[in-house]
Structure 1
Amino acid sequence: MSSQPAAVGHDTVTVRRMLALTASAFLVLAAEPLYLLVDTAVVGHLGARALGALAVGTTLMAVLAIVGTFVEYGTTARAARWFGSDQRGRAVDEGVQASYLAVGIGLVVVVAGELLARPAVQLLAGSSTELRGPAEHWFRIAVCGMPMVLLVLAGNGWMRGVQLTRTPVVIVLVANGLSAAASPVLVYALHLGLVGSAWANLGAQVVGAALFVRALRREATGLRPDLAVMRSQLVLGRDLIVRAAAFQAAFLVAAGVAARMGAAQIAAHQIGMQLWEFTALLLDSFAIAAQSLVGAALGASNPRAARQLAGQVARWSLGAGAAFAAVYAAGWWVIPRVFTSSPAVWHQAHVLWPWFVVMLPAAGIVFGLDGVLLGAGDVAFMRTLTVIAALGGFVPVTLAAAHWHWGIGGVWAGLTAFIAVRLVGMVWRARGDRWLVLGTD
């Protein structure tokens, strides 16, 4: 194995390379939440009932999507190590095997989602009968896209691992641009209402998956399934899935509590969560660049470069989080009105807004260090910390908000506690040496 391949030599682990990967990741990550923001705005003007139903449906889709966590992030970590050791063919093969897993797991998720759609929607919507029917209808259409969702995640994963920056941007922008254009047409012009957004979303997933498969066939030296590689990916994926499950369990509790507060509260929560996820994914652009470069540096047995990258990405992410906080603080009155014309929803959005703004600088650091430790493969620690933060911070505060009637602000105080616990743990871990594991194993 080469100890200093050109892909990750000291001269290439630079600010310029970090910025190139960050910019690529930024555009890819922005496309999906921008589409969701457009979709939320389109559906929001159908009324609080439709927006609340969309919140229930998208929350359930996010729960199911946890199975794709390792397909994306695990593939990046493994591919980056092979790429760093100057074995690009093996790095791309990680994408081939991840794509097979994506299709198989996605089909299982579709069957499970269709069978459990009604009780899952009832569990989340609670006694709100006005949300159940439209939410279930939207979800049954949307869940059919899970194999395509996972193929897109696998495609992003291996491309980031080999530091391809242009192709994923083009694919994701094309797919989501077509879908964003289709959503208002289907919802309003063709009078499909809420389900029109589900069909638009499904269309984007089909286009994106097809384009990523096409790119993989061009790059791969072979397309045969390799059960040994798949097993290794599943081992890494075990901790990533538990980590993602902790995330989604906490968010599911929050959505359930908000839904039981009323249609205005769950609608405001949907607006807040879409903005939160949009911002989180954009902040993740630094993390994804770090994940690729840190994995490659450790694959090339260069711990000094990995540690330098950790410090750099933490500083940049803090600055980005502070910048987003300033923008949202300035737009507290205007931004909610983009998504709904309901004064009741505006009021509830203003209640959660201070929590949303205050947490963003700390969240920037957390997301940046997430990428560092993911690139290092330190997923067992990340799993444990996330479970502690979710079950010891987010969920207790959210349930307390329901019990003592703190309102939607209490739910968002729980999210703030979740970020605070993770911040302490991530900074402590990054300052140590246990994550600096060298080589391709």
Structure 2
Amino acid sequence: MEKNPIRVIFKDAGHTFKKDELGKEIARIAFPAALALMADPIASLVDTAFIGRIGPVELAAVGVSIAIFNQVSRIAIFPLVSITTSFVAEDDANCTITRDEIDIEETRKSPLKEEEMNEMLPRDDPEKQTNKPLGFVNTKTNDTYLECEKRHIPSAYSALVFGSILGLLQAVILIFGARSILSIMGVKHGSPMLTPAEQYLKLRSLGSPAVLLSLATQGVFRGFKDTKTPLFATVIGDATNIILDPIFMFVLKLGVRGAAIAHVVSQYLLMLILLWRLCMKIKVVPPSITDLQYDRFLKNGFLLLARVIAVTFCVTLAASMAAREGSVPMAAFQVCLQVWLTTSLLADGLAVAGQAILASAFAVGDHEKARITATRVLQLGLALGLILSVVLGLGLRFGGQIFTRDVHVLHLMRVGIPFVAITQPINSLAFVFDGLNFGASDFAYSAWSMVLVAIASIGCLILLSWSKGFIGIWIALTIYMSLRMLAGFWRIGTATGPWKFLRT
């Protein structure tokens, strides 16, 4: 009996960077996933850098629009991608039949002995002598095994359908409600930020269907533990965005509209590449409408919907508070926030690896692998956070002029930089704990614990922004991420829910 599950989480710390089979599997999934996750925020940072050359008003306006777009997108994206990754990983693990099981089944039907069957297997293809997915038809014809080229994965069909529907709904809401939403965010009628913010938000919203569908597809690939394909597509899409930015903004003189158009073009290109590659891997059209897992997705989707609203509302409220301070504080907050979120996504790559591996392990009841995986990714997350803290603390202090030359904005940026740097270990652990709980399909706890965290954090944001202004907003965000980390730690540390096996 393990009396202290906390010791289980942090045991074998000397193996953190060990290059064993698990370490290689984590790296193979996490590194491409982190790069793919960072690609879009990096593209937003490039947008920010280019727009900063136009002026602080435009920079602040785009900051508000990006905050709105991210808030609405994550309400749909986060539940969809998280559920898809876990469900596809589970389906993929459950549909794997070992060759031994196939041999046993065939032996029951045939008088041939196992040795004779082994002789009949082709020698030039080692894959035919290893594990077989259930989606492959195993029929014996002419003494060989015939295979279907593509598999049926019900959770993948469901993800694509939900992604398409949610993308269209998001586009309609943002395009027709842009001015009202901006008003709620503090950009009122008569504000110099209103026109550029509205232009950017409406144009960028045209890419919502592509964003949702491409991210649903990425969730499918993550479930297959394939993060290289999404990285390949994301790099091409965001490279297109970076190339088109200066052309549309300065050559064609479209300003902030050009930045939005470049982003939309890149998202549709990304979507087409991902769908093309997915069609080569599985059948993307279900044999029957009954194969769509509406109940399974909706039940857990609503739980994660509550969670993501709570998570993103805190950040969006912080952006709204900064916008009410004026265009200069909002511009400084936008730069710091983009860097804060972009670097934190490196840890989200570890979360994706932990989620995919854990979902497969839980599906087949391999609790030992689940424990070792949780231990390893948590230790890697902490190490990553400490490294990022040092790098950002030094880099941002001297590299702030990349984003703007306005002395007032730079002054406020220096106020926010220490918070961006110091919170990196906290952020990294918070992301990793999220991934572990998702891998265990502990969606209910993840949802309701985050709602409680958000309630406490919203109170801190309102009080501290009112009393201490710009610096108060960053203090409140630090409290928010700390509470989020502790909520994730509590479930595993107390060995409750799906983690109760840690006590045995």
Please say whether Structure 1 and Structure 2 have the same fold, judged by a TM-score greater than 0.5: yes
Q: How far 1:29 sits from its partner (Å)?
A: 1.2
CA gap 1:234/1:402 in 2 versus in 1, 3 angstroms: same
Residue 174 of structure 2 is matched in structure 1 by: 113
Residues 1:69 and 2:131 aligned together: no
Of 447, 455, 459 in structure 2, the residue corresponding to residue 391 of structure 1 is 455
Q: Higher mean Cα deviation, 337-346 or 102-111?
A: 102-111
Residue 89 of structure 2 is matched in structure 1 by: 80
Q: How far 1:138 sits from its partner (Å)?
A: 0.6
Amino acid at match of 1:80: A
Whether the 8 Å CA contact 2:152–2:283 is kept in 1: the answer is no
Residues 1:319 and 2:380 aligned together: no
Residues 1:434 and 2:476 aligned together: no
Q: C-alpha separation between the residues in 2 aligned to 1:139 and 1:191?
A: 18
After superposition, the C-alpha distances for 1:312-368 in whole angstroms (9 at most, x for unaligned) are 111100110111110111123223211011111101111112222111112111111
Residue 96 of structure 1 is matched in structure 2 by: 157
Of 31, 54, 58 in structure 1, the residue corresponding to residue 62 of structure 2 is 54
Structure 2: runs of 5+ lacking an equivalent:
1-18, 97-132, 136-150
Residues 1:369 and 2:433 aligned together: yes
Residue 202 of structure 1 is matched in structure 2 by: 264
Of 448, 453, 466 in structure 2, the residue corresponding to residue 403 of structure 1 is 466
3-state SS in 1 of match to 2:254: coil
After superposition, the C-alpha distances for 1:139-171 in whole angstroms (9 at most, x for unaligned) are 011111111111111111010101113211111
CA gap 1:222/1:366 in 2 versus in 1, 3 angstroms: closer
Q: How far 1:17 sits from its partner (Å)?
A: 0.7
Equivalent residue pairs, number: 426
Residue 275 of structure 1 is matched in structure 2 by: 339
1:126-137 to 2 correspondences below 5 Å: 126-127=187-188, 129-137=191-199
Residue 349 of structure 1 is matched in structure 2 by: 413
Q: Higher mean Cα deviation, 190-199 or 110-119?
A: 110-119
CA gap 1:212/1:189 in 2 versus in 1, 3 angstroms: same
Whether the 8 Å CA contact 2:152–2:282 is kept in 1: the answer is no
Q: How far 1:230 sits from its partner (Å)?
A: 2.7
Q: How far 1:222 sits from its partner (Å)?
A: 5.2
RMSD, aligned α-carbons: 1.9
Of 318, 329, 348 in structure 2, the residue corresponding to residue 254 of structure 1 is 318
Q: How far 1:101 sits from its partner (Å)?
A: 1.1
Q: How far 1:397 sits from its partner (Å)?
A: 1.9
Of 34, 37, 41 in structure 1, the residue corresponding to residue 45 of structure 2 is 37
Amino acid at match of 1:119: S
Structure 1: runs of 5+ lacking an equivalent:
1-10
Structure with higher helix content: 1
Amino acid at match of 2:490: W
Q: How far 1:194 sits from its partner (Å)?
A: 0.8
CA gap 1:307/1:262 in 2 versus in 1, 3 angstroms: same
CA gap 1:30/1:222 in 2 versus in 1, 3 angstroms: closer
3-state SS in 2 of match to 1:213: helix
Q: C-alpha separation between the residues in 1 aligned to 2:448 and 2:438?
A: 14
Q: Which has the higher Rg, Structure 1 or Structure 2?
A: 2
3-state SS in 1 of match to 2:432: helix
Q: How far 1:13 sits from its partner (Å)?
A: 6.0
3-state SS in 1 of match to 2:293: helix
Residues 1:176 and 2:221 aligned together: no
Q: C-alpha separation between the residues in 2 aligned to 1:78 and 1:12?
A: 27
Of 362, 381, 384 in structure 2, the residue corresponding to residue 298 of structure 1 is 362
Q: How far 1:291 sits from its partner (Å)?
A: 0.6
3-state SS in 1 of match to 2:206: helix
Whether the 8 Å CA contact 2:48–2:59 is kept in 1: the answer is yes
CA gap 1:307/1:433 in 2 versus in 1, 3 angstroms: farther
After superposition, the C-alpha distances for 1:201-239 in whole angstroms (9 at most, x for unaligned) are 101110011111112222223513645413311211111
Q: C-alpha separation between the residues in 2 aligned to 1:307 and 1:296?
A: 13
Q: C-alpha separation between the residues in 2 aligned to 1:424 and 1:113?
A: 34
Q: How far 1:83 sits from its partner (Å)?
A: 1.7
Residue 4 of structure 1 is matched in structure 2 by: none
Q: Higher mean Cα deviation, 140-149 or 380-389?
A: 380-389
Residues 1:412 and 2:420 aligned together: no
Q: How far 1:437 sits from its partner (Å)?
A: 8.8
